[in-house]
Copies of this chain bind each other. A is one copy, B any other.
Amino acid sequence: MGAGQAVPLTQDEAHYLFAVMRLEVGARVALFNGRDGEWTAEVVEAHKKRGVLACVEQAAPQLAPPDLWLIFAPIKKERTDFIVEKATELGCAKVLPVQTEFTNSARIRQDRLQAHAKEAAEQCLGTYVPPVEDLEPLKKLLASWDPARRILWADEALVGPAETLAGLAPGPWAILIGPEGGFSEGERETLRSLDFVTPVSLGPRILRADTAVCAAITLWQSALGDWR
């Protein structure tokens, strides 16, 4: 984006701004594209089904999250939506849904999850929207994994005092959260055998998958991420 640049609106956007919010020519709105931070823009054309904004100036720089990915097994619809929302808010750079042996769903609505990530960023005045990948089998993902990116595995078998993450090496990481019911014995063996996988405990209580996502990202951000 640049000062003066014209931004044509989609029909939905025009409907929201002019029919729902009743903005008129000259009104100012906040704008972001996921790359250039937050911009102030002005309405220059306002119709029921179309309209144009003009960029005025950058209001805030782009805030990129640290190099943290989230790998998770989709669960029930609303809790899956929730996981994507929380990963966006808490600061993940990418979201990778995986199919595990105990994952019910054979597919996901990637477009819907991506829209959820965008909405979460908007709600929280964020300017970064993590890409949500398509569902991939965990086995396949691990087989082609770049070992330079370490995986923090929230191992539900380790329920007990949480490890401190303070001693972990900085660098690119991914957090791995299993489905309700955890991982199969075969998957657990594979994970235990991989050098780039570090198991951690998330405390003495058993957590739902969506709660584990929030807790693990929080711990990582405060030890290695941009919450320090």
Instruction: Please give the residue numbers on chain A whose beta carbons come within 8 Å of chain B beta carbons, in ascending order.
Output: 63, 82, 86, 89-91, 123-126, 161-162, 164, 202-208, 211, 214-215, 218-219, 221-222, 225-228
Contacts and interface: CB of A to CB of B under 8 A. Distances in A.
Contacts of A123: 208
B214 A218 contact: yes
Contact of A126 (B206, B221, B227): B206
Contacts of A222: 162, 164, 203, 219
B211 A86 contact: yes
B161 A206 contact: no
Contact of A86 (B203, B206, B214): B214
A77 to B, nearest CB: 13
Stoichiometry, as copies per complex, reads 2
A227 B158 CA distance: 12
B161 A207 contact: no
B203 A226 contact: yes
Contacts of A161: 226-228
24 contacts: A63-B204, A82-B82, A86-B214, A89-B205, A89-B208, A89-B211, A90-B203, A90-B215, A91-B204, A91-B205, A123-B208, A124-B207, A124-B208, A125-B206, A126-B206, A161-B226, A162-B227, A203-B225, A204-B226, A204-B227, A211-B214, A214-B215, A215-B218, A218-B218
Q: Which of A86, A208, A227 has the most CB of B within 10 A?
A: A227
Q: Which of A161, A211, A219, A228 has the most CB of B within 10 A?
A: A211
A162 B204 CA distance: 24
A92 to B, nearest CB: 11
Contacts of A219: 218, 222
Nearest to A225: B203
A225 B191 CA distance: 29
Contacts of A82: 82
A195 B32 CA distance: 40
